Amino acid sequence: MIISGAEPFFFHGSKKLGVLLVHGYSGSPAEVRELGERLYKQEKYTVLGVLLPGHGTDPHALEHTKWEDWYLAVQAGVRQLQKTCQRVVVIGMSMGSLLTLNAAAEFNLDAIVVMSTPIYLYDWRVHFLWLAKRLGWSVRKGSRIINADKRFNVAYDCLPIEGVRQTWKLISYCKKHVLTKVKAPCLIVQSKADHTVRPLSARYIYQRIASTVKRIYFLEHSRHVVTLYQEREALMTEIIKFIKEQR
């Protein structure tokens, strides 16, 4: 059973442009829903927010889910939008940004936006996942005080270690096999106040993707899930501006 508020969403708008929104690890479509609502209500885009396998139900489900399963959901979302929309844009949050980069390497996308993409992490414990799993199946997440409406803050209260290991594998795969294949126009969003992802991750992506149209948009005060904090209005405006520039 899906947790209340964690459901996938679909807003049927214009056939000219469809946007796929991909949430992060242990999160849910709720964390990108406000952005999705803005894209639909203001710009009349068709918007699909996917719920990745193992998410939005029971955190134990992530003990049996691989990153390839997450990507299958993204592939399905892209294909669904390509059937009805002339142009397709994919926007990802955190781990969802890694999946977005994968999609850009495989599909002919019109643009992508990657937010808080984990390349370099602050938490050194990811290097000792083999040991951490012996101590328990998950680690607790700290509570977060957001600036957005609470209906957008729907996520697990823990980080299943197996899922963290899968995310780490996905990071490695993207660095080795994906980034140089990305050619779509790309907006790279990163907050300097992110305590999860090191800001130099944005530079790493910028320098390695093959896109000729690319830029970094730095936020100053937001935490990791940038769609939930005080700069989100400016962020949504920047994303819409970037999408329009790719016509």
- The single residue listed with the structure tokens 């803050």 is 153
140 in a structural domain: yes
160 in a structural domain: yes
Count the alpha carbons within 13 Å of 98 in the hemisphere toward its beta carbon.
Answer: 26
> What is residue 135's predicted lDDT score, i.e. its pLDDT?
58
| CA–centroid distance for 42 within its chain | 22
2 in a structural domain: no
- What average pLDDT does range 36-46 have in this prediction? 98
3 in a structural domain: no
19 in a structural domain: yes
The pLDDT tens digits of the residues spanning 106-125 come to: 999 999 999 999 999 886 45
213 in a structural domain: yes
The pLDDT tens digits of the residues spanning 101-111 come to: 999 999 999 99
Q: How confident is the model at residue 233 (pLDDT cuts 50, 70, 90)?
A: very high
1 in a structural domain: no
Total structural domains within the chain:
1
The pLDDT tens digits of the residues spanning 204-215 come to: 999 999 999 999
Domain boundaries, position 57:
9-245
Task: Please report, for the domain that includes residue 55, its CATH number.
Answer: 3.40.50.1820
User: pLDDT averaged over the chain?
Assistant: 93
The model's pTM = 0.95
